[in-house]
Structure 1
Amino acid sequence: MNLDQLARAIYHTAHITGEFKLRSGVIADQYFDKYLFEAKPEILQSIAEHVASLLPEKYDFLAGLEMGGIPVATALSLHTKTNVLFVRKEAKQYGTCKLAEGGNVAGKELVIIEDVVTSGGAIMDAVTKLRAQGALISKVICVIDRQAGGRENLEKMGLEFTPLFTKSQLETAL
């Protein structure tokens, strides 16, 4: 799928209307249900192919955020043959008690992978916790930027933010 075809596929598969409370607390009348596009192998594979071109030249791990970033990061890992971490919202209180599963983050350069970004709150929380464990993080890649302040919030933390698509791009891809 080329980028235009992918934008149309994501929009037609995942764009829904109604009343939705976002993580940020904002009520939206439109929503991109990421699980609808992440559940379609042909769309997820195409996302991985296109996101691969956005990756920096050097990094140690892809870091998929719970829960929506994990399928994207996993598909990207399979496409690029790069190791992936699965980042929890909170460290487990049992077993290994890890925040990030799949490897040690101390001194490692991580690329944060997320599905949809609104305010960037979940990413900011994860980056703060991962940096406290010694992770080096400068790059965030997402599939959809809802254009609701996430870019600005992430850039304030010194993060380079690169979406595959903005909400506006998806809306005009029809």
Structure 2
Amino acid sequence: MTTVDRELASDIDACCRLTGSFTLRSGQQATEYFDKYLFEGDAALLSRVAREMVQILPSDTELLGGLELGGVPIATMVSYLTGHSAVFVRKQAKTYGTCKLAEGRDVAGRRVTLIEDVITTGGAVRDATRALREAGAIVEVVVCAIDRSPEGENPLADVGLEVRAVLTKAELDAARNAAR
């Protein structure tokens, strides 16, 4: 990691790593939890994470797909920094008004890079990928703030999605150990 990455990892770790007993979205039990809302609600940290995401976005990105709820503030900040339009991807299409799953511009035929906060098993990203592809989007990459999946594994390989992370759990662990 570079010095900037180490500093960001240390700051993110100090800000949002919680210990205790937690049930993850996947149903898995964990003794550590990364409360992404703690860094997403901190303008300076959110901006730093977004600037790192900009560096790893695919060059052919046409739209940013912020996943409900945690991916929305990050996608908004990345949109601001890059000028790329963002769409906001719901967990389910709403049943009133426009009845859309992806709010914003039409995704059909467009290269959508998904923006997510934390990935462990990728369940929400997998669901969003399938739904966006059904709507005609080209979805090949997800950029996340924290990838806490097992090191060296791609939890989204089954849907042909590349995961690009600003920070991995291993990097956060290294930052925590260095701070001790």
Question: Same fold by TM (over 0.5)?
Answer: yes
- Give the equivalent residue in structure 2 for 1:66: 68
Where in structure 2 are there 5+ consecutive unaligned residues?
A: none
Which of 126, 129, 133 is residue 131 of structure 1 equivalent to? 133
- Give the equivalent residue in structure 2 for 1:146: 148
- Give the equivalent residue in structure 2 for 1:8: 10
CA displacement at 1:125 relative to structure 2? 0.5
Q: Distance in 2 between matches of 1:80 and 1:152?
A: 27
Which of 119, 123, 129 is residue 121 of structure 1 equivalent to? 123
8 Å contact from structure 2 (residues 154, 162) kept in 1: no
- Give the equivalent residue in structure 2 for 1:103: 105
Distance 1:129 1:150, change over 3 A: farther
Q: Distance in 1 between matches of 2:75 and 2:152?
A: 19
Q: Distance in 2 between matches of 1:5 and 1:73?
A: 22
Q: Which moved more, 1:160-169 or 1:144-153?
A: 144-153
Measured against aligned partners, the alpha-carbon deviations of 1:148-167 in whole angstroms (never above 9, x if no partner) come to 48953312211111111111
Which of 12, 19, 22 is residue 17 of structure 1 equivalent to? 19
Q: Which moved more, 1:93-102 or 1:155-164?
A: 155-164
8 Å contact from structure 1 (residues 24, 121) kept in 2: yes
Q: Distance in 2 between matches of 1:96 and 1:5?
A: 43
Which of 15, 31, 34 is residue 32 of structure 1 equivalent to? 34
Structure 1-normalised TM-score? 0.96
Where in structure 1 are there 5+ consecutive unaligned residues?
A: none
Amino acid at match of 1:30: E
CA displacement at 1:60 relative to structure 2? 1.1
Instruction: Supply the RMSD in Å over aligned alpha carbons.
Output: 1.5
8 Å contact from structure 1 (residues 8, 173) kept in 2: yes
8 Å contact from structure 2 (residues 120, 155) kept in 1: no
Q: Distance in 2 between matches of 1:117 and 1:31?
A: 12
8 Å contact from structure 2 (residues 149, 155) kept in 1: no
Fraction of identical pairs, as percent: 46
Measured against aligned partners, the alpha-carbon deviations of 1:40-85 in whole angstroms (never above 9, x if no partner) come to 0000000111110101111210000000011111111111111001
Q: Which moved more, 1:89-98 or 1:3-12?
A: 3-12
Q: Secondary structure at the match of 2:113?
A: strand
Amino acid at match of 1:90: Q
Q: Distance in 1 between matches of 2:31 and 2:121?
A: 16
- Give the equivalent residue in structure 2 for 1:166: 168
Q: Distance in 2 between matches of 1:130 and 1:150?
A: 26
Distance 1:66 1:150, change over 3 A: farther
